[in-house]
């Protein structure tokens, strides 16, 4: 496709995925001046009058992915992975803990991906003093977050949730009680014992979830667990939702597809936070997606260079490059009949947009033309060295997969 300068782009012979309607329909798309003008069964005359006409050749035409909780601005990785909006974690240098830094992050100059900042819940993300979250919301923050850490002070967390509730602002938290996890590099179990790794019990996640749900229920606040990974945690969220608590949660493909066996022998690319869990917890994560307990899928994109990963396992930094592989790995859920294709795009596009109040993630007349073309059957092999992003620290290095983004379109502009 050629670049379209404020003109008309027509895409024909596609299969349009509408996650809101839950449908896949054959047809095309007409894009004018960056917005969707028409879609579905479009008159051929409109195609002829378009500046550029592209043949999708049966590929899926779907909303661009909205990735919640990335730790780095990585336009190349986003474009390769079909991510058109990235919600940026406050764990930057310096942390996003004041309005000026929020405005700076929101104005990052990129035609490839919209950067939506998440504000630091506490000054410097130190967990001691609440930041000016109301001012940061006005500056463009769509949520506040505890970052990579959990707020141990229950009084502070209560005040944070109560204050955020007054602004109807989501509090996003990391769910691990660091009284148990400090210094740990793995989950207690046979694998950690065999490798001699410092470890912590998986219950640390459920303990954090239980406390934060209790405080959210008391304050009426909106609470989002950025990523969960254990059966006990999902059970707590499931039960709280039935009581009407305003709680949501995400999960990553890594915790859906890998168990703690993935860390051996000392594979630092599999050093994650939260760490990989037992096989039973992995299966429970899949069931939580299947039954709707999980609200969205996220990449946890946290690219780390060789200086952070080429170390002894316990000394390596946790994190993975996930933006480019979020869609292809999530498509495994469709092939395994855990979710349908429209439901998958609900989890990675429509639901994140709805939850965080973004005008994105949908196929509709007048909606922004942030779209992706996808061949859901294309075979390829994930290669850490060949990834387009800043670093290739993926625990899926060498894995044969199916499904790939063919083209990312941002504001009507084909990228790459």
What string of DSSP letters covers 348-411?
IIIHHHHHHT-S-S---TTSB--EEEEEEEEEEE--GGG-SSS----TTTT-EEEEEEEEEEET
pLDDT for 282: 98
pTM above 0.75, yes or no: yes
pLDDT for 3: 39
Please check whether the domain covering 64-356 is classified as CATH 3.40.50.2020. Answer: no
What 8-state DSSP symbol labels residue 64?
A: P
Confidence of residue 48 (pLDDT cuts 50, 70, 90): low
- For residue 6, pLDDT over 80 is answered with no
Q: Which CATH superfamily is domain 8-61+367-378+387-414 in?
A: Urease, subunit C, domain 1 (2.30.40.10)
Distances (CA, A) of 110 to 74, 408, 411: 10, 14, 12
Q: Which residue ranges make up each domain of the chain?
A: 8-61+367-378+387-414, 64-356
pLDDT for 42: 81
pLDDT digits (tens, 9 = 90+) for 128-157: 999 999 999 999 999 999 999 999 999 999
pLDDT for 291: 98
Domains 8-61+367-378+387-414 and 64-356 share a fold: no
pLDDT digits (tens, 9 = 90+) for 259-318: 999 998 889 999 999 999 999 999 999 999 999 999 999 999 999 988 899 999 999 999
Distance CA 230, CA 24 (A): 33
pLDDT digits (tens, 9 = 90+) for 344-365: 999 999 999 999 999 999 999 9
């Amino acid at each position: 496709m050629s670049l379209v300068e404020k003109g008309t782009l027509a895409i024909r012979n596609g299969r349009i995925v509408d996650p809101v309607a839950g449908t896949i329909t054959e047809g095309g798309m007409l894009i004018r001046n960056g917005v969707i003008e028409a879609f579905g069964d479009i008159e051929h005359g409109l195609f002829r009058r378009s500046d550029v006409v592209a043949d999708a050749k049966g590929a899926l035409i779907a909303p661009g992915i909205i990735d919640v909780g990335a730790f780095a601005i990585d336009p190349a990785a986003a474009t390769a992975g079909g991510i058109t909006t990235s919600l940026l974690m406050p764990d930057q240098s310096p942390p996003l803990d004041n309005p000026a830094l929020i405005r700076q992050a929101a104005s990052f100059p990129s035609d490839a991906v919209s950067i939506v900042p998440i504000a630091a819940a506490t000054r410097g993300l130190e967990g001691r003093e609440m930041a000016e979250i109301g001012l940061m919301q006005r500056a463009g923050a769509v949520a506040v977050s505890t970052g990579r850490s959990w707020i141990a002070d229950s009084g502070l967390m209560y005040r944070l949730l109560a204050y955020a509730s007054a602004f109807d602002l989501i509090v996003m938290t990391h769910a691990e009680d660091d009284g148990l996890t400090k210094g740990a590099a793995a989950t207690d179990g046979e694998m950690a014992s065999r490798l001699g790794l410092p470890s912590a019990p998986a219950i640390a996640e459920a303990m954090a979830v239980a406390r934060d749900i209790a405080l959210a229920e008391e304050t009426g606040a909106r609470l989002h667990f950025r990523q969960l990974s254990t059966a006990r945690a999902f059970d707590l969220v499931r039960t709280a939702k039935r009581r009407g608590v305003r709680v949501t949660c995400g999960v990553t493909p890594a915790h859906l597809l890998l168990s703690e066996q993935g860390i051996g022998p000392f594979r630092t690319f599999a050093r994650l936070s939260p760490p990989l869990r037992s096989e039973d917890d992995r299966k429970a994560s899949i069931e939580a997606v299947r039954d709707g307990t999980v609200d969205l899928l996220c990449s946890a994109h946290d690219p780390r260079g060789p200086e952070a990963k080429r170390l002894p396992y316990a000394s390596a930094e946790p994190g993975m490059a996930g933006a480019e592989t979020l869609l292809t790995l999530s498509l495994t859920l469709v092939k395994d009949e855990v979710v349908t294709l429209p439901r998958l795009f609900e989890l990675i596009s429509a639901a994140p947009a709805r939850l965080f109040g973004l005008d994105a993630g949908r196929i509709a007349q007048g909606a922004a033309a942030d779209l992706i073309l996808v061949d859901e059957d294309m075979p390829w092999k994930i290669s850490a060295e060949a990834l387009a992003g800043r670093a290739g620290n993926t625990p899926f290095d060498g894995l044969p997969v199916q499904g790939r983004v063919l083209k990312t379109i941002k504001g009507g502009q084909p990228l790459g």
